[in-house]
Chain A
Amino acid sequence: MTPLVEMRDIALSFGGVKAIDHVSVDLYPGEVVGLLGHNGAGKSTLVKCLSGAYRMDSGQILIDGQPVTINNPRDARAHNIETIYQTLALADNLDAASNLFLGRELVSPSGFVDDDRMEAETRRIMARLNPNFRKFNVPVSALSGGQRQSVAIARAVYFNAKILIMDEPTAALGPHETRMVGELIAELKRQNLGIFLISHDIHDVMDLCDRVSVMKNGKLVGTERVGDVTEDEILGMIILGKKS
């Protein structure tokens, strides 16, 4: 079976600092791969090469076995790669619909932005993801952390993503909302999406992921099946930077 995504030998430096030092990871359809590591380990930087936010210095990205070039976020979106950023990347002054469709606005036949249709679509997907969501006509700055998160998630799922990158999706959420994100991930898995999940929380990762890749100082420490290792072993990899 060909992997959905293969990132081979990726390297990226920022002014002499090796942020990613020849890392290879892969992801299969219907699989969740957790990326673990301390702050500054390079997890976010690695997936930003996939989402087009950064351009890698060297290495190769294959999607469905085909080499692809991803120079910017548009390229990534064209390959059905969607990202939920840790910062959520929402324009606070715009409403939920404008954020959901940002960069991919629905337009009327005359070429004008069709806000009504975008709002209708937003209402439709929100009814599924967060049925309590009501604030469609206010800027997202007026929303709670969980509501903002659901807008960011809706944006990633709406456009039929095949590959989903979630960077700390539950960092700003309460227990109830965290559980909802967990259920969503399980559902997306059933729909055969591949998901990279970045998290600090080792419990989250053990619960939600099939495999984990651990990084330290820009290097890949190792990739393990979740069933084959204990939490302590993973913790050891994170802290010591080697397999015990």
Chain B
Amino acid sequence: MTDTTSGDSSKTSLARALQLDTRLLGMIGAFVAICLVFHLLTGQRFLTPRNIFNLTIQTASVAIMATGMVFVIVTRHIDLSVGSLLAVCSAVMALVQVWVMPQLLGLGIGHPVTAPLAILAGLVVGTAIGAFNGWLVGYLSIPAFIVTLGGLLVWRNVAWYLTSGQTLGPLDPNFQLFGGINGTIGVAASWVVGALAVAASLWFMWSARQKKAGHGFTVKPLWAEAVMMGIVAALILGFVAILNAYQVPVARLERIFAARGDTLPEGYTEGYGLPISVLVLIAIVVAMTVVARRTRFGRYVFATGGNPEAAALSGINTRLLTVKIFALMGALCALSAVVASARAANHANDIGTLDELRVIAAAVIGGTALSGGVGTIYGAILGALIMQSLQSGMAMVGVESPFQNIVVGSVLVLAVFIDILYRKRSGALK
């Protein structure tokens, strides 16, 4: 990869010393550029704590599913049914909350077991449907495109049938904590989480370095390691600082204090801090990255994507692997459904409509190759962020709806074209 880049400019050698992926740098560059352009076009309203906060909670649902879509596409499959799966999971969870728990079991509204049981039910349903899709693909050899195209229709309408097309709500108050603005952990806890994340990242980077050195491999220079650690720490703490800087409106604080029977003290302010939905996303990203890079399952996903025949000859059960991948995708659809329906505070029939396209686009913009074998979790997250920034940026600028979609569609095609050019130049694609 890097050995074929001819550049000897200071920029590439710096990237090489830091062992940064040039492709990742390009994507971050594109993302930053988009943000800056919208910041200027919107009269500096884009890069504000409030808008960044909104961007993260709007991205969470698609981003969660995009991490699973990476595995699906890496193994040369596709899943067109994720939006419909999300709808089924959302419907089941809503039914548990508004019908099963309060009416069938007679538990009161807001009973502490309601939210956990609803989420568990959603996870079971999502995983089961995903595994079923995987079984159709892996064991019956029906192309994933067809299985999930059928699933797109089937599951969306199963969700409709389950709820008789009604909007179910309001959802359980504890469940709604996963929705974003209604569930944040506050300033102090956010700093604690940020500090722990920094400590964990630095420890991880240092121990990885020690381990490599222990095997006698060349490691990057100490200064480069220090720079990387500094960048990582700054990014984490900067992100926390921005979300902490978004202040809860005074009117809302007054209501909160009034509900407790207090009055709002003069000059009292409070930041939102990290939303729980974003914490869920971060946990999933970390977990999926570990799965992709540090587990046999992840290794087999990439090996099968690179050469299915070689994987089978190495004793990998590629059929069962397919079932596992789609089951994982289904579980992620369920988690995504938690975030999406909690954010809306109810289950509506059209929840997750067209999400399959957003999720696939996020993965593909993030560098996941449809030809298989190539893709990263962080890439898919960046892809989801780029898409969401474009969409909400254009909405803020006042671009008309049809043009928003025209731009997003064109960006998808352009991004893949640039990726092909990049891979040709770097020799990864012949």
User: In the complex where A94-B302, A94-B303, A117-B215 touch, is A138 in contact with B3 (Cβ < 8 A)?
Assistant: yes
> A73-119: which have CB < 8 Å to B?
73-74, 77, 83, 85, 87-94, 98, 102-105, 107, 111-113, 116-117, 119
How near does chain B come to A76, taking the closest CB pair, in angstroms? 8
Q: Do the beta carbons of A91 and B313 come within 8 Å of each other?
A: no
How near does chain A come to B288, taking the closest CB pair, in angstroms? 14
Q: How far is the CA of A89 from the CA of B290 in the complex (A)?
A: 26
Q: Which residues of chain A are within 8 angstroms of B4 by Cβ–Cβ distance?
A: 142
Q: Which residues of chain A are within 8 angstroms of B1 by Cβ–Cβ distance?
A: 138-139, 142
Q: Which residues of chain B are within 8 angstroms of A142 by Cβ–Cβ distance?
A: 1, 3-4, 427-428
The reply to whether the CB of B106 lies closer than 8 angstroms to some CB of chain A is: no
Q: Do the beta carbons of A89 and B3 come within 8 Å of each other?
A: no
User: In the complex where A73-B314, A98-B299, A142-B1 touch, is A87 in contact with B309 (Cβ < 8 A)?
Assistant: yes
User: In the complex where A102-B314, A141-B428 touch, is A119 in contact with B3 (Cβ < 8 A)?
Assistant: no
Contact of A92 among B211, B299, B316, B373 (CB under 8 A): B373
Q: How far is the CA of A84 from the CA of B217 in the complex (A)?
A: 29
Q: Which residues of chain A are within 8 angstroms of B310 by Cβ–Cβ distance?
A: 87-91, 102
User: In the complex where A93-B302, A93-B305, A93-B373 touch, is A103 in contact with B316 (Cβ < 8 A)?
Assistant: yes
How near does chain A come to B405, taking the closest CB pair, in angstroms? 33
The reply to whether the CB of A60 lies closer than 8 angstroms to some CB of chain B is: no
Q: How far is the CA of A85 from the CA of B314 in the complex (A)?
A: 11
- Interface size for B (C-beta < 8 A) is 35
Q: Do the beta carbons of A120 and B215 come within 8 Å of each other?
A: yes
> A189-207: which have CB < 8 Å to B?
none
Interface of B, secondary structure class, is: helix
The reply to whether the CB of A53 lies closer than 8 angstroms to some CB of chain B is: yes
Q: Do the beta carbons of A107 and B313 come within 8 Å of each other?
A: no
Q: Which residues of chain B are within 8 angstroms of A83 by Cβ–Cβ distance?
A: 313
Q: Do the beta carbons of A73 and B312 come within 8 Å of each other?
A: yes
Give the contact-size bracket for chain A. Answer: 35 or more
Contact of B315 among A72, A107, A111 (CB under 8 A): A72
How near does chain B come to A75, taking the closest CB pair, in angstroms? 9
13 new A-B contacts at CB < 8 Å, known A116-B214, A138-B3: A73-B315, A83-B313, A92-B373, A93-B374, A94-B306, A103-B311, A104-B315, A112-B290, A119-B215, A119-B217, A120-B216, A139-B1, A142-B427
Q: List 15 A-B contacts (CB under 8 A).
A: A74-B315, A89-B313, A90-B307, A90-B310, A91-B307, A92-B307, A102-B310, A103-B316, A104-B314, A107-B296, A112-B295, A113-B293, A113-B294, A113-B295, A119-B215
